[in-house]
């Protein structure tokens, strides 16, 4: 029964997540908030999902009513892990009134919490009280800050994504999080705008290697074309193609450590895709691999016999970059 005081979050779903060698039941929630304060990334449409121009008190009411909805819909005793996304950063006080953090902490006390945030908002003063409220001793590290680092390359993050922070900003956030007793999950983006397929694969492999020493967890996001984004503008004009699923497999097979990957939109024109014939089996295989970490599965998927593999190899060899001027 849903009461009048409830509001549905943007999305929520149950699933499984690998944590170390365990598979945990996980509840994922995307709260509608005041919206990302930065809101300039070229591929992002989440920034459009917001309560615009609301007072802090009204924003808090919206968020609390979404939390009530979640508590009515799901039996939280069934989940050990909770992933919270917002339309930007959970720890941004403009986007999410700080009073809401204590509501979150008491609702999910004892859970393993993964909270998405930009590095700018990761600071010990905010994390310490939050962690002490959520921690009931069940987890060595009860909170992980999930940061969309996207790539370890500052030029690619600046020119191709317009992310607005540097790798040094990321490592500063890592120090702050660790100082408060939080862990780090890094999201990396496979094939930002303006990169060739080969550049994208090599950027991802370099990024995994560079990021490994600072993170507990790496998740690779193959780029999808979201609506009302700059990326979509270029895609509609034939100037961008999402990554091949072969590229995803190639990275997973060469990565120095197992990374998780959920190929959202896999097999569709706007998402990572191959020819249409082999996509479903590969997307399913990548999801299975994310849960098992079994490299043999990736090698078996790479051996699937499909004509589009030759096309992908040709693209890797022959695609040429379109350079941007370095100066104005
Ligand atoms: S990717 Fe994250 S930081 Fe960038 S605009 Fe979207 S929500 Fe904001
Ligand atoms: Zn194919």
Closest CA to 182 of 256, 255, 261, 105: 105
Chain segment 289-310, per-residue pLDDT in tens: 999 999 999 999 999 999 999 9
Give the dihedral of Cα atoms 234, 239, 242, 248; nearest 10 deg: -140
Closest CA to 142 of 204, 80, 197, 99: 80
Q: Mean pLDDT in the chain?
A: 94
Instruction: Output the residue whose Cα is nearest ligand 1's atom 7.
Output: 88
Chain segment 61-92, per-residue pLDDT in tens: 999 999 999 999 999 999 999 999 997 999 99
Chain segment 206-243, per-residue pLDDT in tens: 999 999 999 999 999 999 999 999 999 999 999 999 99
E strand or H helix that includes residue 112: strand 112-116
CA distances from 158 to 32, 202, 325 (A): 27, 17, 14
The H helix count followed by the E strand count for the chain is 11, 8
Distance of CA 49 to the CA centre of its chain: 16
Closest CA to 150 of 200, 114, 186, 197: 186
Distance between CA 195 and CA 198 in Å, rounded? Answer: 8
Q: Which ligand is nearest to the CA of 267?
A: 2
Of 45-54, 94-103, 186-195, the one with minimum mean pLDDT is 45-54
Question: Three-state secondary structure along 196-228?
Answer: CHHHHHHHHHHHHHHHHHHCCEEEEEECCCCCC
Q: Which two tokens stand for residue 51?
A: 């309560």
Q: Which atom from ligand 1 is nearest to the alpha carbon of 163?
A: 4
List ligand 1's pocket residues with C-beta within 6 A: 36, 38-41, 44, 46-47, 88, 118, 148
**pLDDT tier, 50 (very low <50, low <70, confident <90, very high otherwise):** confident
Q: Which ligand is nearest to the CA of 38?
A: 1
- Report pLDDT for 3: 52
Distance between CA 66 and CA 1 in Å, rounded? Answer: 14
**pLDDT tier, 4 (very low <50, low <70, confident <90, very high otherwise):** low
What's the 41 CA to ligand 1 centre distance in angstroms? 6
Q: Determine the 3-state secondary structure of 176 from DSSP.
A: helix
What's the 280 CA to ligand 2 centre distance in angstroms? 10
Q: Which ligand is nearest to the CA of 157?
A: 1
């Amino acid at each position: 029964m849903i009461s009048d005081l409830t509001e549905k979050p943007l999305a929520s779903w149950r699933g499984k997540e690998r944590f170390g060698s365990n598979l945990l039941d996980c509840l994922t929630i995307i709260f509608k908030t005041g919206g990302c304060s930065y809101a300039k990334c070229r591929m992002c449409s989440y920034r459009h999902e917001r309560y615009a121009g609301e007072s802090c008190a009204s924003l808090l009411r919206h968020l609390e009513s979404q939390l009530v909805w979640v508590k009515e819909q799901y039996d939280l005793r069934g989940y050990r892990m909770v992933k919270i996304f917002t339309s930007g950063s959970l720890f941004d006080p403009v986007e999410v009134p700080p009073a809401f953090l204590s509501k979150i902490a008491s609702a999910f006390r004892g859970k393993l919490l993964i909270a998405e945030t930009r590095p700018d908002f990761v600071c010990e003063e905010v994390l310490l009280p939050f962690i002490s409220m959520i921690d009931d001793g069940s987890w060595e590290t009860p909170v992980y800050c999930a940061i969309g680092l996207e790539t370890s390359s500052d030029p690619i993050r600046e020119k191709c994504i317009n992310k607005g922070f540097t790798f040094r900003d990321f490592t500063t956030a890592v120090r702050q999080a660790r100082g408060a007793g939080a862990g780090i999950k890094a999201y990396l983006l496979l094939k930002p705008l303006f990169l060739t397929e080969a550049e994208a694969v090599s950027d991802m492999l370099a990024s995994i290697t560079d990021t490994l020493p600072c993170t507990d967890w790496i998740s690779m996001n193959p780029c999808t074309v979201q609506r009302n984004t700059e990326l979509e503008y270029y895609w509609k004009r034939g100037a961008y193609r999402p990554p091949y699923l072969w590229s995803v497999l190639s990275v997973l097979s060469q990565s120095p450590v197992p990374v998780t990957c959920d190929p959202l939109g896999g097999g569709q024109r706007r998402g990572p895709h191959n020819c249409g014939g082999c996509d479903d089996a590969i997307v399913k295989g990548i999801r299975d691999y994310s849960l098992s970490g079994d490299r043999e599965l990736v090698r078996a998927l790479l051996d699937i016999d499909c004509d589009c593999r030759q096309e992908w190899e040709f693209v890797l060899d022959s695609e040429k970059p379109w350079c941007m001027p370095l100066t104005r």
